Each structure stands twice: as C-alpha cells, then as structure tokens.
Structure 1
Amino acid sequence: MLVTLAQRPDLAEAAYAIPYPPESPKFMAGSLASLLVRGRRVARRWPHLVVALLDEGAPVARGIMVPFRGRGALPARGWDEVAVWAAEDALDDVAPDTAAALEIAVHPDHRARGHSRTVLEAMREAVAAAGLGSLVIPLRPPDKAAAPATPMREYAAETRADGLPADRWLRTHVRAGGRIEAVAPCSATVQAPLADWRSWTGLAFDRDGEVTVPGALAPVFVSTAQDFAVYVEPNVWVSHRVA
C-alpha cells in the first residue's frame, strides 16, 4: 500500500526511521544544504510530497520531494541548489511548478523487490496530484563510487549492448520513463575540519591532495595545513513525466 504523509501523518516518524544501507557514506551528514530540508521540516511543510510504501501497515520505503519554481536550466549545483530554492520559495510565498526528488530509500531488509520503482511511480502520481508540472531528480548513482576518478559525464554516458545505461540506478529510472538531462558537476558539497572526516570515515587524512574515500563518487580534496577537506559530488539530472 502506498500513502503520502498528508494522508497518514501518523506515519511520519516511522517513515523517516527507515535506515540507510550500512554502506551509505556517513560524511554526507556534513551537507549544510540538507539542513534546510531535513525530515521534520519537509514532513510538516510538504507532507503531500512524502510517499511511504507500507508492508503490513509499516513503512518499508520512502520517497521525499520538495517543490520549487523553475528558474530556467537545471542547476549545476543540483541537490544543494534545489534545496535552497525550495526553502527560498517557501519563505517568499512563491508558487512552485516543479518537484525535485531528494531521495528514495528502501529498508535494507526489503531491498531487491522492486520497491524503488514502485515508490518512484507513486512520487510521480503525488506530483501530478499537487498540480506541479514536472519531477526532476539530481540522481546519485552509488555504483559510481567504484570509479571516483572517472568524470561523471563519461560515467553517465556508458551504456550496455541494449542501449540502456550501464549504471543500475540510472537504468532503473530510464526504464521507468526517465530522461537523462544533464550532469550536475557540483551537486552536493561537504566541507569540514579533518577531525570530522576522520570520524566519518576512519581514515587518517594526514596528507594533502586528493583522497579516495569509500562511498564517495569523486575524490575528496584535503589541506592538512588549513585543517579542512572538501567533497564536491557530481550527480545526474533526470526528468520524469507526471501523470
């Protein structure tokens, strides 16, 4: 069964309690832009754009979106930019015309059952019901972490013999009717002192330059003299028609 939090506000806590997979990178908690659209804020402000898939009455997957007014081309600063735009438009009482999906999460015990595709379809329906014209996604292909040095533009363009994207998450979206629009080269940024990076990753961070971090889609840039590291994550813009 699929519901939105507008229909079942009592499920908000359980929906947001769905854990990320154990291999999910902890360092993404250092994203400042994500603070603008953290769980309770979105659930309170835009409950009609938070979708939950239920199994025996309990949420096992969720899809989270925020609305904003389009500003022309999809931004190079992807995820971070749309989080800011959604917050700005809400503060300024600007009527939205587009929804951006911030995440689709499936409980680790319920993976490989097609739930991501099911939630994606429900998100499209929720966008249409909200009267918004389109759904766009600054998509994070997690398999890119196996090739952090490869530019995202090259990675996203790789295809299989059948013409579908080589990346499994991009392939899921294309099969569902999504269209790859562009690369967002600096979609999400995490900048933090080296102590935070050591805590998040367990790595030493004791040398300057590029450091490969498990789960990162691109190298992390380190300055030991200045005591900070910066991660700039590329994503892929995907658009979906709404019902």
Structure 2
Amino acid sequence: MQPKTSSLADRPEMLERIVGMADSWPEFVVQDLVGAAHFPRIATELPEYVLFAEDERGEVVANAYSVPFALDAEGRGRLPANGWDAVLVWAFSDLRRGVRPDTVSAISVSVAPHAQGRGLSGLMLSAMRDNARARGFREVVAPVRPNAKHLEPHTPIEEYVRRVRPDGLPQDPCCASTPGPEPPSTPWHRRP
C-alpha cells in the first residue's frame, strides 16, 4: 500500500509526530547554526510546506520540508553557493518583509531509518514538487548534501563533489542523477 501524504497545514495535530520521527541525519548537519535557528520555524510559520507520509498503521515514516523564496529579488538572481543556509535566511527575510516568492527550495527530506529503501524519498520529492506546483510555483530547487562526504571529513568539498564515475556522473550517491562532469561545489538540483 502506498503511504498517504499530507501537509502539516491540513493536519496540524500531526506536528509532534512529524518532528518526533526518528531520522538518520549525521551530527554535523544538526549542528548547523543557521539551520538550528530557522528549520523549526518552517513548521510554525510555513506549515503548508511541511509534508509527511504515513504508512498503513498511521505511523509517520517520512517528512519533507521546503520554503518559498524570491530568487529573482535584487541582489540574488542565482542559487547561493552556501546552499540551504542562504535559502533559509532569504525565505524568512522575504516572509517578514512581504516579498513575493518565485521559487521553492527543498530543505530536507527524511525517511525513518526502519522505512528506508522503500522509495519514500522519491515519493516525498514528488509530493514536494506537486505541492509547489499547486501553490503556483514553476520550479523547485534542492541544495543537495553529498551522502557519503562524512566518510572523508578532511577532503575539501570542492574536490569531493568533482569526482566522477566512469559514466561521467558524480561519484557521490546523492548526486548520481546530476548530469555533467563538473558539479558545483554546492550541488543543486532543479525540477520544473
């Protein structure tokens, strides 16, 4: 049975279960100061951009957070090299100032450890894209964290993300669907 996806805006009573879902984020990710300051705000200030999936027993097995922001605002115009930190700051600055967003950025997709390997991350990315489209956005972007980088903590990220497989795709599993031999230092995926 396909898990049921919903938004926190439609089901606010699910907040504790969404936030309390076990995940497998490495410690360095949860220590990010910008993320720590802004990530919790998504659920309270932008609940329509918090999605979750429930299995047949009603257990939350995946969640996806995104934020709308104005990429075409003055002084921006291109995706930031420092990934979600800049996007989170832009999104909440735009929200506070009433700037109309034109792009949605994925911030996180998490799958409960016991439910990994079932295609839930793809389901959540599709739900995120559909949610953005339903809200009038034409594009969803995603700053991608290289999945295996923590295995090489002393390798500079610029070197790590430029490694390619024999078929020309990036070596890191998160970026293997990104075409081209030279991914940027902060990989971004764009989806219409």
Whether TM exceeds 0.5 here: the answer is yes
* 1:238 alignment partner AA: H
C-alpha distance in structure 2 between counterparts of 1:169 and 1:58, whole Å: 26
1:161 to partner: Cα distance: 3.6
Is the 1:67–1:96 Cα contact (8 Å) retained in structure 2? Answer: yes
AA aligned opposite 1:108: P
Counterpart of 2:63?
62
TM-score with structure 1 setting the length: 0.68
Deviation track 1:143-182 (CA, whole Å, cap 9, x = no partner) reads 01222333333332333344433211212x549xxxx963
Letter in 2 for 1:240: R
Q: Supply the RMSD in Å over aligned alpha carbons.
A: 2.1
Structure 2 equivalent of residue 169 of structure 1: 174
When residues 128 and 32 of structure 1 are mapped into structure 2, their CA distance, relative to the original with a 3 A threshold, is: same
Find the aligned partners of 2:183 and 2:49 in 1 and give their Cα distance: 22
Query: How far apart, CA to CA, are the structure 1 residues paired with 2:152 and 2:36?
Result: 28
Aligned pair in 2 of structure 1 residues 174, 59: CA closer, same or farther (>3 Å)?
A: farther
- Distance in structure 1 (CA, Å) of the matches to 2:5 and 2:64: 11
Bigger Rg, structure 1 or 2: 1
Higher RCO, Cα 8 Å, sep 6+: 1
> Between the two proteins, what is the percent identity of the paired residues?
36
Are 1:240 and 2:163 matched, yes or no? no
15, 19, 32: which one aligns with 1:16: 19
Normalised by the length of structure 2, the TM-score is 0.84
Alignment-derived partner of residue 52 in structure 1: 52
Q: Kindly indicate whether the alpha-carbon contact (under 8 Å) linking 1:69 and 1:94 is maintained by their aligned counterparts in 2.
A: yes
Mark the runs of 5 or more structure 1 residues left unpaired by the alignment: 185-235
CA 1:29–1:152 in 2, change beyond 3 Å: closer, same or farther? closer
Cα pair 2:162 2:170 within 8 Å, conserved: yes
Give the Cα–Cα distance (whole angstroms) in 2 for the partners of residues 134 and 17 of structure 1.
29
1:123-134 matches, within 5 Å, as: 123-134=128-139
Structure 1 segment 1-243 matched on structure 2, within 5 A = 1-21=4-24, 24-39=25-40, 41-56=41-56, 57-70=58-71, 71-171=76-176, 174=178, 182-184=184-186, 236-241=187-192
- Shift in Å, 1:112: 1.2
- Over 3 Å counting, the alpha-carbon distance change for 1:147 and 1:29 in structure 2 is closer
